[in-house]
Structure 1
Amino acid sequence: IGDDEKSLHSYPHQLSGGMKQRVMIASAVSAEPKILIADEPSTALDVIIQAKVLKLMKKELVKRGMTLIFITHDLSVVAGLCDRVVVMYQGKIIETAPVKKLFAEPEHEYTKKLLSAVPRVDKKVDRLMMNEQTRSRDDSVESIKSSSSNETIISFKDLHVEFEKRNGIFSSHKEITKAVNGVSLDLYKGEVLGLVGQSGSGKSTLIRSIAGLVKSKSGSIYYDNKDVLPANQKELRAIRRKIQMIFQDPYGSLNPRFVAGRIIAEPLINYGLMSGKDAYKKVRELMELVQLDPDWINRYPHEFSGGQRQRISIARALALEPEILLCDEPVSALDVLIQTDVLNLLKEIRSRMNLTMLFVSHDLAVVRYVADRVAVMKMGKIVELKTADDIYAKAEHPYTQQLLDAIPIPDPSVEQKRIRC
């Protein structure tokens, strides 16, 4: 867990996600069980912490001779950890096989879909496999090519964002966290720029600063050659119309009291652009664009799946016809098939609307699929910036290489031979 003495006296909220998960592993193995059931133990972790947790779990299994039942939707993790795989679909077991056989010779169509839907860091593809419900529409879509230019649309100049933290309610001592520490970065019109790094590296804070959701300490953010940081509320409102955001959590980012139509129409109403029948018509068009049935317009968020909720979020973000989409981990909470659908949807919409995207993720395999260029962040700084192909083939910074090495590859013959620190 790290500093054992300090950790022993820490409360859960004082530990990172990876540390909490390691505490749970320690708790589970302390009784020396014969069987350990792990239910999605690495889903919410970044790739480096995930690799450490899985390495610890594997070490304890060998050391204690335990049997592990590992539940996950991440087939890349399965490839390196498991001996045998059971695939479930709609409450039934549809296929069982040794891990190498399942990856090499899947028999059931659903298993084939799962394997085809996994983005790979070691291979570049133009389009991932589609879910059956979107296949008929998307089969006609040709490979989507980059439409980016060399025209700068957003420019960060020596940006600093800091947060203060007190050590207690009555303490006068403050700890300063430098979430963004002197970032300078250009975003080109029409491109998808991937922003990657571990949890806490400053990725989300950086894009939230563009939208004015966090306050910058110093530096500049230029949009259309104008510094947005000194903007007043009226000016910021105009800027936000052109820069929209898709949040990470499809369950927490939608108002549970509003129906889908009201949620999607909210920006139109807020800006006084449409109301009544015009707004209703526009919402139905947006629902069709994101491949949702327009007849679901009066359903509440709890009546939709996670992937469908994220489509509602995308439709809401597109309502004002923005130039830029800020995507903050938009698929991290979704299973692999739904993730594939949403990624394909974002690529298609980007092509149709000539959107510029800043795509935040800790999953470099996902970023390789969507991005033209990739910026790597560590401790609030950009440590490497390259084209998507070059970042994977010619990574120079040790931290970038560490991120790449930590990503599991969905191939047991490769993954089980890899040695990680």
Structure 2
Amino acid sequence: MSALTAAEVADLRAAFPYFASQPQPGTLAPAYLDSAATSQRPTAVLDAERQFLEHHNAAVHRGTSGAVGEATLAFEGARAAVARFVGAATPEQIVWAENATDAINIVALGIGEANAGLGVTGSERFTLGAGDEILVTEAEHHANLIPWQRLAAKTGATLTFIPVNEHGTWSLDDARAAINDRTRIFAFGHVSNVTGFVAPVAELVALARAVGAVTVLDACQSVPHIPVDFATLGVDFAAFSGHKMLGPNGIGVLYGRADMLAALPPSRTGGSAITRVTMQNAEFMPAPMRFEPGTQPVSQVVGLGAAVEFLETVGMERAAAREHELVERLVAGILETPGLRLLGPQGTTQRVALAAVSVENLHAHDVGQYLDEQGVLVRVGHHCAQPLHRAFGIASSTRASVHLTTTEDEVDRFLDALRGAQRYFGVEVSA
């Protein structure tokens, strides 16, 4: 599949108000290289949300009016679009959450409920206790680490992890050594938000399934950038967020295999998620509705559906090929510059969408301030991955991330600005 051409990227950028309005006369257009944190949104997404609010706003799944019916159709239509986009067999495998962090917590807290005697039919598969292990990796985002720390503390299970090597990556052999008959849950990222490292998901799922372990995939950095089919990968649960894939804030997605969602008890309860309530107990609706209590973020869901349609029109394979070209340019420029330490794979065959660097003898916050003055927008800090940075022996790094709207010029401006920071601060670099 051929990559998007420069002309096509220019046309795409015109569909984004953020890019179309720049540059202003006499000013330097910002080079936006922070899509791994949050992506810009095309007019189609902004219009979908605005038009819904202006013309179709109503409470979904409540009442019998025509307005409610129209709103519900839009709401559930977006669920069907997202299901198609990630390879779910049915829309009911898609659960709306506040964000990806919330989606992972729905699973972790639900397993906690199952172990507190509040399970449903099939919840016994989530039983945890002393001697059982919850496995993660040292490279995880805090959102896919802290919920499992707390679940281990609640249940008496032991949290274990796959350590990273000097590049912050790990291998299938490392996973084989860590997974054993005591492993009950294996939670890991599809693509690292620091190194861009792509995990071999299908092979890891097979290892976990062989010992009866539940798999939970953090797909925040994969779904926006590469074609993803959760059914083919075989994961039990997966989480991703709307705002990293051209969609609105405040909406995340939990994907689950149908049997796993059916066995997972709800951890947050209230109206619209139930079938029968007495003063003593409640009975809950089937998935996904039992995980969606209260008033829903309807316009955000509609906006996410529009984002999916936009990405499908572009074509994820062509977008991924384009981004790979940009990452190759980014990595090559980093590796050829003395004093820059590339975190993660020292190439691009196992890397998606981003590159983080440590600048020798220079704090990442100083780098970030200098880059900002040059109009280059990146992320600096520990990127919600302190254990991984600790393994690198550093407190923070500077991350540039690309998306389908990124240009070669923006990548070059980042590289030039890194070299400019070295000169500006007068840092000495190793030969």
TM-score tier by shorter-chain length is under 0.3
Higher strand share: 1
Q: TM-score, normalised by structure 1?
A: 0.25
Q: TM-score, normalised by structure 2?
A: 0.24
